[in-house]
């Protein structure tokens, strides 16, 4: 599998000029405005309200609702894409999921078309249907409100709704996971239905059933019900494609409709025989999973591995050519872009720009530990290079000892061309980290990336990796202000851990910090557990469970712990600013005695006004994470360890451990805007550094920065990390080599993940000033890609100010003085 039979792994002879279908489809996608899609909400609501009884088990009802929708779901063919199936009834749709966050746009129904930030089309009739028919049913029924009512609006939920402490993501999603597609492609969905039927029959034959067996019985029945919906949708696609083929006069389009009709008549019901059948079957299942689960980081996984047997067989038989394979891959890439999130305008302003982040993972090693890079890996890299679309979020696994340098350099070249993707993951360390979490070696080796950067054994591990997003800077402020925060005024939020001014040593402050963290994280976990148990009651996932290893054997839905492995992820915002602040307190107050704690607090309250000398000292003279002062690294590692020990001591409602991580999406911008001045010299309301990345402009040496981030114990970061690097330019063989050497250094130190933006300060500043000149500029945010123009100003400034390193000198490029106001310390 490791050989490179392609004459040119760069596939440079294939361009959008000689792949005109992809060029046309891409143009269409980039010019299509998003529209709210109410189709799913309409049918699911109708089924639950009018076609089922409230006293039926929710497992049965929900499977029925999902199947009803899939049976009613219209077959659309909006363009000439070679794959049948659409997520929405709109070419570029934002589906409404009222069970989760779909109600949040209610106040905006009449203005969402025209809102300033990322408007979405919605007709007056659709708005009326949402307002009068759909939303009223869900007012007391979505996961947030049912949980609130059941638990009498518990303090942990009130804390979550203050937004500035932590986000309990289950109110909006549990999706973040990687399904198991292989079985469905190899054996067909009809086979899975038959297996569930056999299990059902076997249980029934046992005579009277206990409660657990009864639940298993309901589960097996629900799986069959939901999967019948998938097959009904595929039949409808086939029938509609056949009708369109009859009507079509253009010979190529006619042939395409005929092929789609034939493909959907077979898959996903029956085993896929060809590359085209496999890729379309996978897409239809992905669409069907979104009939049940919200479109948030539902990640297809290792597509170069899953689809390779079909590709190889077709290539060997002469049934497929490279351009045809590139077209089919490109069609899948574009299909993965056919939907977006539905979010209210304020959320767009604060956190906007993200796609749905379906992560695709390439390369690395196989379950047996062999080189997994194959021809399809290179075809997928080439398609990514050509299309440069926001999704899929592409991740390249790299094993230093097993993957080739040619592969590494090719990945670097694609990053150079796209200026941002793929992200690179360190196989050696990622696998070890997963093994330490209890995964069998062959399962750990077969990991794929979920959404941003989180790791999962594909189709075996149900990780809900975005369960908690906790603001570490809020922990710091709670410790600084004895359980209060400036943004929440006089309210006593956390425990009283002592007036900071009275602390006589750094350890006292550290203890206060640790206590505040443990209290806040306990609140976040408590809420996650309440949500998780509510999902067990009202939001089971029989359809997704059918595409996982474990649930059918155990007779247990994923949400009850049916997967082979389980975990919940907790990621953290403001890591670098918090670490630097701890170091600043240690150095300034207790070692150098440059100020008293009281003076420091006064300076923070006044946003350093009148404290310019102290501010300059804090910015320039205190240890910075990413720099060469061991004190900073010690505090960074101490924070990592504190979090790891705490979370790993907690078991979730599915029997899995909590896993801490450090990736922030755009939350470091939004939360930064709501945080007071910090001891590291960051001024009030400035964005935080992203993910696990050092504070912008704090780390001047590239090597030092790589060693510092890579030097954090990766085994303590099982929830994944997002490390952002920026280079002004990456071109030519020499740069590619240097870039590769940087990756090697970082990975040898132990870094889990790295992602790069290849863009200069000047170019980004110009893109901010003149967005019309850069409509397709793609940037890595903190674990995913976004179009720069879609980001809010704070997020744009965070990306602009990220330290850029010159590959030649290995030193930070000076930030333009005239724009220094953007920096957090100004």
Partner 1 sequence: MWQTLLNKILLRGQRAESAAKQFLESLKSEAAEGFLELLLKLMSLVFYIDPGFRRNIENFQGRYLFRSQDRGITVAAVFQDSRLKVSQEEIKDTNVTVIFRNGKALMNFLLSPKPDILGSLLRQDLSIDGNLNYLYKFAYMAKHLQLKFMPRS
Question: Is 121 or 811 the residue whose CB approaches partner 1 more closely?
Answer: 121
Among the listed residues 18, 33, 124, 139, the single contact to partner 1 using CB under 8 A: 139
Question: Is 149 or 826 the residue whose CB approaches partner 1 more closely?
Answer: 149
Q: Which of 62, 71, 64 is nearest to 39 (CA)?
A: 71
Instruction: Supply the minimum distance, in Å, between the C-beta of residue 695 and partner 1.
Output: 23
Q: Which stretch binds partner 1 (CB under 8 A): 14-22, 99-107, 360-368, 788-796?
A: 99-107
Task: Compute the distance between CA of residue 1 and CA of residue 369 in angstroms, rounded to an integer.
Answer: 12
164 binds partner 1 (CB under 8 A): yes
DSSP string, 768-809: HH-GGG-TT-EEE-SSSEEEGGGS-HHHHHHHHHSPBB-TTT
**For the chain, give me the number of helices (H) and strands (E)?**
33, 16
CA terminus-to-terminus distance, the chain: 53
x/- contact string, 58-97, with partner 1 (CB under 8 A)?
Answer: ----------------------------------------
Q: Which stretch binds partner 1 (CB under 8 A): 155-163, 254-262, 519-527, 753-761?
A: 155-163
Question: Is 353 or 751 the residue whose CB approaches partner 1 more closely?
Answer: 353
211 binds partner 1 (CB under 8 A): no
> Which residues in the 327-366 window bind partner 1 by CB under 8 A?
344-347, 349-350
Among the listed residues 14, 135, 333, 398, the single contact to partner 1 using CB under 8 A: 135
Task: Compute the distance between CA of residue 605 and CA of residue 110 in angstroms, rounded to an integer.
Answer: 41
Question: Is 135 or 333 the residue whose CB approaches partner 1 more closely?
Answer: 135
Q: Which residue has the tokens 């049916």?
A: 562
Among the listed residues 5, 318, 489, 821, the single contact to partner 1 using CB under 8 A: 489
The pair of structure tokens assigned to 572 is: 């953290």
Question: Is 553 or 793 the residue whose CB approaches partner 1 more closely?
Answer: 793
153 binds partner 1 (CB under 8 A): yes
Q: Which stretch binds partner 1 (CB under 8 A): 21-29, 83-91, 148-156, 629-637?
A: 148-156
138 binds partner 1 (CB under 8 A): yes
163 binds partner 1 (CB under 8 A): yes
CA neighbours within 13 Å on the CB side: how many for 720? 32
Question: Is 97 or 138 the residue whose CB approaches partner 1 more closely?
Answer: 138
Instruction: Supply the minimum distance, in Å, between the C-beta of residue 168 and partner 1.
Output: 13
Strand order in the sheet with 423-426: 359-363, 393-398, 423-426, 753-758, 724-727
133 binds partner 1 (CB under 8 A): no
Q: Which stretch binds partner 1 (CB under 8 A): 158-166, 197-205, 457-465, 729-737?
A: 158-166
149 binds partner 1 (CB under 8 A): yes
> Which residues in the 653-682 window bind partner 1 by CB under 8 A?
670, 674
Among the listed residues 286, 340, 465, 488, the single contact to partner 1 using CB under 8 A: 488
x/- contact string, 797-816, with partner 1 (CB under 8 A)?
Answer: --------------------
Give the count of residues interacting with partner 1 (CB under 8 A): 39
Dihedral sign for Cα 251, 253, 255, 261, please: negative
Instruction: Supply the minimum distance, in Å, between the C-beta of residue 670 and partner 1.
Output: 8
Beta bridge pairs of residue 786 = 779
Residue 377 near residue 362, CB atoms below 8 Å = yes
Question: Is 490 or 817 the residue whose CB approaches partner 1 more closely?
Answer: 490
100 binds partner 1 (CB under 8 A): no
Question: Is 688 or 746 the residue whose CB approaches partner 1 more closely?
Answer: 688
Q: Which stretch binds partner 1 (CB under 8 A): 136-144, 276-284, 690-698, 818-826?
A: 136-144
Rounded alpha-carbon distances, angstroms, from residue 116 to 21, 108, 344, 792: 33, 12, 11, 11
Q: Which stretch binds partner 1 (CB under 8 A): 157-165, 403-411, 751-759, 776-784?
A: 157-165
Beta bridge pairs of residue 339 = 93
Question: Is 103 or 189 the residue whose CB approaches partner 1 more closely?
Answer: 103
- 623: Cβ–Cβ under 8 A, 6 or more apart, which residues? 580, 583, 584, 587, 629, 631, 632, 635
Q: Is 634 exposed, middle or buried (0-12, 13-18, 19+ CB in 10 A)?
A: middle
Ranges assigned E (strand) in 612-716: 657-661
The pair of structure tokens assigned to 235 is: 């039949």
Angle at 374 between CA 371 and CA 380, to 5 degrees: 125
Task: Compute the distance between CA of residue 239 and CA of residue 263 in angstroms, rounded to an integer.
Answer: 11
The pair of structure tokens assigned to 220 is: 């097996």
Task: Compute the distance between CA of residue 811 and CA of residue 782 in angstroms, rounded to an integer.
Answer: 22
480 binds partner 1 (CB under 8 A): no
Q: Which residue has the tokens 């934002």?
A: 94
Rounded alpha-carbon distances, angstroms, from residue 748 to 709, 755, 811: 11, 16, 20
Residue 762 near residue 792, CB atoms below 8 Å = no
Among the listed residues 20, 136, 808, 816, the single contact to partner 1 using CB under 8 A: 136
Helix or strand run (H / E) with residue 183: helix 182-187
Among the listed residues 49, 71, 151, 162, the single contact to partner 1 using CB under 8 A: 162
DSSP string, 338-387: SB-----HHHHHHH-------EEEEESB-TTSSB---HHHHHHHHHHHHH
Tally of CB atoms within 10 A around 150 = 13
x/- contact string, 103-132, with partner 1 (CB under 8 A)?
Answer: xx-xxxxxx---xx--------------xx
x/- contact string, 616-655, with partner 1 (CB under 8 A)?
Answer: ----------------------------------------
Question: Is 539 or 595 the residue whose CB approaches partner 1 more closely?
Answer: 539
Q: Which stretch binds partner 1 (CB under 8 A): 153-161, 239-247, 651-659, 776-784?
A: 153-161
Question: Is 398 or 481 the residue whose CB approaches partner 1 more closely?
Answer: 481
> Which residues in the 702-761 window bind partner 1 by CB under 8 A?
none
Maximum C-alpha span of the chain: 84
Question: Is 117 or 187 the residue whose CB approaches partner 1 more closely?
Answer: 117
Question: Is 68 or 170 the residue whose CB approaches partner 1 more closely?
Answer: 170
DSSP string, 27-89: HHHHTPPPEEE-HHHHHHHHHHHHSS-TTS-HHHHHHHHHHHHHHH------S--SS---SSS
Question: Is 333 or 351 the residue whose CB approaches partner 1 more closely?
Answer: 351
Instruction: Supply the minimum distance, in Å, between the C-beta of residue 825 and partner 1.
Output: 23
Q: Which stretch binds partner 1 (CB under 8 A): 61-69, 139-147, 445-453, 591-599?
A: 139-147
Q: Which of 578, 577, 603, 575 is nearest to 589 (CA)?
A: 603
Task: Compute the distance between CA of residue 44 and CA of residue 98 in angstroms, rounded to an integer.
Answer: 10
Phi, psi of 77 (to 5 degrees): -130, 90
Instruction: Supply the minimum distance, in Å, between the C-beta of residue 139 and partner 1.
Output: 4
3-class DSSP state of 184: helix
What's the distance, CA 583 to chain centroid?
Answer: 31
Task: Compute the distance between CA of residue 431 and CA of residue 459 in angstroms, rounded to an integer.
Answer: 16
Question: Is 48 or 261 the residue whose CB approaches partner 1 more closely?
Answer: 48
150 binds partner 1 (CB under 8 A): no
Q: Which stretch binds partner 1 (CB under 8 A): 144-152, 187-195, 199-207, 395-403?
A: 144-152
Instruction: Supply the minimum distance, in Å, between the C-beta of residue 345 and partner 1.
Output: 6
Among the listed residues 80, 145, 537, 737, the single contact to partner 1 using CB under 8 A: 145
Sites of contact with partner 1 (CB under 8 A): 103-104, 106-111, 115-116, 131-132, 135-136, 138-140, 142, 144-145, 148-149, 153, 158, 161-164, 344-347, 349-350, 487-489, 670, 674
């Amino acid at each position: 599998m490791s050989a490179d039979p392609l004459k040119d792994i760069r596939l440079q002879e294939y361009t959008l000029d000689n792949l005109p279908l992809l060029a046309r489809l891409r143009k269409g996608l980039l010019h299509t405005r998003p529209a709210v899609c109410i189709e799913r909400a309409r049918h699911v609501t109708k089924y639950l309200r009018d076609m089922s009884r409230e006293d039926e088990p929710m497992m049965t009802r929900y499977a029925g609702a999902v199947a009803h929708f899939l049976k009613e779901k219209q077959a659309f063919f909006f363009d000439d894409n070679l794959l049948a199936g659409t997520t929405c009834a709109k070419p570029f749709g934002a589906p409404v999921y009222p069970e989760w966050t779909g109600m949040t746009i209610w106040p905006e129904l009449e203005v969402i078309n025209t809102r300033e930030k990322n408007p979405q089309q919605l007709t007056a009739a659709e708005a009326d249907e949402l307002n009068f028919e759909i939303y009223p049913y869900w007012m007391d029924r979505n996961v947030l409100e049912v949980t609130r009512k059941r638990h009498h609006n518990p303090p942990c939920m009130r804390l979550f709704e203050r937004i500035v402490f932590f986000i309990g993501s289950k109110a909006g999603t549990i999706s973040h996971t990687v399904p198991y597609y292989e079985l469905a492609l190899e054996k067909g969905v009809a086979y899975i239905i038959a297996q569930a039927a056999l299990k059902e029959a076997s249980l029934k034959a046992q005579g009277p059933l206990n409660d657990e067996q009864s639940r298993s019985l309901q589960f097996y029945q629900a799986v069959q019900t939901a999967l019948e919906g998938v097959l009904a949708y595929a039949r409808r696609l086939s029938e509609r494609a056949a009708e369109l083929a009859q009507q079509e006069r253009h010979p190529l389009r006619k042939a395409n409709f005929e092929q789609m009709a034939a493909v959907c008549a077979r898959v996903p019901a029956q085993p896929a025989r060809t590359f085209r059948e496999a890729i379309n079957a996978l897409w239809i299942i992905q669409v069907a999973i979104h009939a049940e689960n919200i479109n948030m980081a539902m990640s297809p996984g290792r597509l170069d591995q899953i689809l390779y047997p079909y590709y190889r067989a077709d290539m060997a038989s002469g049934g497929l050519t490279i351009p045809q394979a590139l077209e089919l891959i490109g069609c899948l890439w574009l299909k993965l872009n056919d939907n977006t999130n539905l979010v209210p305008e304020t959320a767009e302003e604060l956190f906007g720009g993200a796609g749905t982040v379906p992560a695709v993972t390439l390369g690395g090693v196989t379950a047996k530990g062999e080189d997994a890079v194959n021809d399809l890996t290179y075809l997928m890299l080439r398609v990514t290079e050509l299309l440069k679309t926001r999704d899929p979020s592409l991740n390249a696994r790299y094993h230093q000892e097993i993957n080739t340098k040619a592969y590494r350099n090719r990945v670097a070249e694609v990053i150079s061309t796209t200026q941002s993707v793929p992200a690179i993951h360190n196989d050696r360390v990622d696998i070890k980290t997963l093994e330490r979490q209890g995964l069998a070696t062959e399962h750990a080796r077969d990991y794929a990336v979920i959404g941003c950067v989180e790791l999962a054994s594909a189709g075996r591990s149900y990780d809900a990796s975005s369960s908690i997003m906790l603001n570490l800077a809020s922990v710091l402020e709670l410790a600084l202000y004895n359980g209060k925060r400036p943004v929440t005024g006089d309210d006593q939020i956390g425990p009283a851990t002592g007036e900071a001014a009275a602390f006589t040593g750094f350890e006292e402050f550290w203890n206060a910090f640790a206590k505040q963290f443990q209290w806040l994280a306990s609140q976040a976990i408590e809420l996650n557990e309440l949500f998780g148990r509510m999902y067990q009651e009202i939001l089971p996932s029989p359809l997704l469970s059918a595409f996982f290893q474990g649930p059918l054997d155990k007779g247990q839905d994923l949400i009850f712990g049916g997967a082979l492995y389980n975990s919940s992820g907790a990621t953290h915002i403001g890591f670098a600013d918090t670490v630097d602040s701890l170091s600043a307190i240690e150095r300034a107050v207790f070692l150098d005695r440059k100020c008293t704690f009281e003076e420091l607090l006064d300076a923070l309250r006044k946003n350093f006004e009148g404290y310019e000398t102290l501010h300059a000292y804090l910015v320039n003279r205190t240890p910075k994470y990413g720099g060469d002062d061991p004190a900073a690294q010690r505090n960074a590692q101490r924070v990592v360890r504190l979090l790891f020990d705490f979370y790993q001591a907690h078991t979730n409602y599915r029997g899995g451990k909590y896993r801490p991580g450090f990736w922030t999406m755009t939350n470091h911008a939004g939360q930064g805007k709501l945080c007071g001045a910090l001891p590291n010299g960051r001024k009030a309301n400035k964005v935080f550094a992203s993910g696990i990345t050092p504070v912008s402009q704090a780390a001047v040496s590239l090597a030092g920065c790589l060693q510092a981030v890579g030097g954090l114990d990766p085994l303590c970061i099982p929830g994944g990390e997002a490390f952002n690097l920026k280079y002004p330019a990456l071109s030519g063989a020499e740069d590619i080599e240097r870039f590769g050497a940087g990756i090697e250094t970082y990975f040898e130190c132990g870094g889990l993940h790295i992602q790069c933006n290849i863009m200069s300060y000047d170019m980004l500043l110009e893109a901010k000033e003149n967005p019309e000149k850069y409509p397709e500029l793609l940037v890595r945010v903190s674990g995913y890609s976004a179009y720069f123009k879609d980001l809010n100003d704070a997020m744009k400034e965070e990306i602009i100010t990220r330290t850029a390193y010159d590959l030649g000198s290995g030193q930070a490029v000076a930030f333009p003085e005239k724009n220094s106001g953007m920096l957090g310390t100004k």
